[in-house]
Every structure is written in structure tokens, then in C-alpha cells.
Amino acid sequence: MGRGKIEIKRIENANNRQVTFSKRRGGLVKKAKELAILCDAEVALIIFSSSGRLYEFSNSGMRQTLTRYNKCIDPSEPTIVEHREERQETTEVDILKEEISNLKVKQMQLLGKDLTGLSMNDLQHLEDQLNGGLLTVKDKKEQLLVDQLQKSRLKEHLATLENETLRRQVEELRAFLPSSECSGPRCLDFYPVNGNKTIVEHGAVSTDTVHNCGVDLQLGLSFEVCRKRKAPERENCSSHSSSRRSLM
């Protein structure tokens, strides 16, 4: 036997009324969940029991659903404009997502990956793009090399000019310095001659003495020390000459 039709009216028995409330509340919440999932709808359910207890369900948040409900009850121009802007933004987001997906596919194809499904014309177009990009990269590289070469040549030219300037300055300094033929002082500078007579004509010192004196003066010895060192040599020389005269 089938179930009989239940008369829709308030159940007088409190226990039966509570049991029926619990069962039908559960069924109603289940149907609301199914409706939200199957139909992608925004569902909100609010139930107050006879005792004042609150039961609610919402798949998008009760506050957000109530706000939207209040705006729909009292529609105004800003609300309509806001919904239009939301739909427009959603459409733009979908378009951007699609463009990003296409760009990712093209990037993979330029890297030589994911070439399945491409026709001969598509592959030829891809090859032309790669060749064009390669030529652009080569041109940029050559331009950078030319710029570096020009900078190097400019630095070399500046260095050459600087070296030439320094060389001229050195030559000018050398021109101001006095030129000397001897590296050390001469003995005649310390023992000057009288008139046209030479040192040898005075009979005081010999030519060897003069030469040795010049060497000693170059070593930093004074003229007096030179004469003292050469005095024994002169005495030996004079005794030797007198002995030769006596023999003759």
C-alpha cells in the first residue's frame, strides 16, 4: 500500500511536530546543497524553529547573499551599473586568461617543444620567426662589438696623445738642463794656472801627479790631501834623478 496523502496543517502533537521538523529540515538542506552544486546557483537557507533556534545554510556566505538580496529588492541605477561592471570584468579576465594560455603555447613552440598538431605552413611560419629573431640578435651583437671597437680606438688615440705630450715635456726639461762633458771635477779647476804657464812649468808637480790628483778629486778627496799623498812620490823621483846625474 502506498503512503497516504498527508494533510498540510499544524501538527498538534509536540513530539510528532518535532520529529517532522527535524526530518524535513534535513531534507530541505540536502535539496539546497544539491541545487547549489548542480545548477551553480547561490543558495541561502534560513530556518527558525518554534522554540526560536536558528538553522541556516549558504554556499556563498550568508552575509554576501543577504546583501545581494537587499540590493535586488530595492534596485537602483548604481546597483545595475555595478553588476554590469562585474560582468565586464569577468569577461575581460576570461579573455586575458585565454591570451596567456595562447602565449604560453607559442613560447613552448619557439623553444622547440609541443609541436604536435602543427601543419607544414605553421612549421614554416615558426621557422621564419626563429630566423628573423636570430638575425635581429646577430645585428645587435655586431652593433655592440662595433661600439666596443670604437671605444677602444678612442682610448688608444687618447693614450698616444698623452704619451706624445709627456715626451715633449721631457725634451723641454732636458733642454733647460746644462750639458756636461765630464762626469767629475778636474784637478785644474782646484789648482789654477798663472798666465800662460801650465802646472808642469811650475816644477811643483808632475803630469802623473796632476792625473792622479784628478782621480783622487773625483773620489771626493780634497786637494790638500792629494798633495800630501803625492809628496813622497816626488821625493823618490828627485832622489832618483840626482843619483842618475852623479853617475853620469
Of 49-63, 75-89, 170-184, 226-240, the one with minimum mean pLDDT is 226-240
Write down the mean pLDDT value for the chain.
75
Q: Do residues 125 and 110 make contact, with C-beta atoms less than 8 angstroms apart? A: no
> Residue 151: CB partners within 8 Å, gap ≥ 6?
none
Q: What is the crossing angle of helices 223-247 and 207-218, to 10°?
A: 160
Mean pLDDT along residues 173-198? 55
Contact 65, 57 (CB under 8 A): no
Minimum mean pLDDT among 40-54, 55-69, 192-206, 216-230: which range?
A: 192-206
pTM above 0.75, yes or no: no
What's the pLDDT score for residue 153? 94
* Higher-confidence position of 49 and 198: 49
Q: What is the predicted pLDDT for the residue at 163?
A: 94
Mention every residue, 6+ apart, whose C-beta is less than 8 A from residue 206: 200, 234, 237
- Check whether 217 has a pLDDT greater than 70: no
How many helices, marked H, and strands, marked E, lie in the chain? 8, 2
Compute the half-sphere exposure of residue 191: CA atoms within 13 Å on the CB side of its CA. 21
45 phi, psi to nearest 5 deg: -130, 125
Q: Are 195 and 206 in contact (CB under 8 A)?
A: no
Confidence band of 151 (pLDDT split at 50, 70, 90): very high
What local confidence, expressed as pLDDT, does residue 102 receive? 84
Q: Other C-beta atoms within 10 Å of 99: how many?
A: 10
Q: What is the dihedral of CA 111, 114, 117, 118, to 10 degrees?
A: 0
Of 50-59, 121-130, 208-217, 233-242, the poorest mean pLDDT is in 208-217
- Number of Cα atoms under 13 Å in the Cβ half of residue 49: 15
Residues with Cβ < 8 Å from 32, sequence gap 6 or more?
43, 45, 57
- Asked if 213 contacts 223 with a C-beta cutoff of 8 angstroms, the reply is yes
Average pLDDT over residues 123-130: 85
Share of the chain above pLDDT 90, in %: 25
pLDDT greater at residue 211 or residue 163: 163
Classify burial at 71, counting beta carbons within 10 Å of its beta carbon; exposed 0-12, middle 13-18, buried 19 or more: middle
Rg of the chain on CA atoms, in Å = 61
pLDDT of 227: 56
Of 105-109, 162-166, 212-216, where does the model show the most confidence? Answer: 162-166
Task: Summarize pLDDT for 64-105 with one digit per residue, the tens.
Answer: 888 888 888 775 555 555 666 677 788 888 888 888 988 888
Per-residue pLDDT, 105: 83
What's the grid cell of residue 11? 501538527
What SS3 class is residue 29?
helix
Q: Is the pLDDT of residue 60 over 70?
A: yes
| Measured distance CA(98)–CA(91) in Å, rounded | 11
223 with 191: CB under 8 angstroms? yes
Q: Any idea which architecture 14-74 has in CATH? A: 3-Layer(aba) Sandwich (3.40)
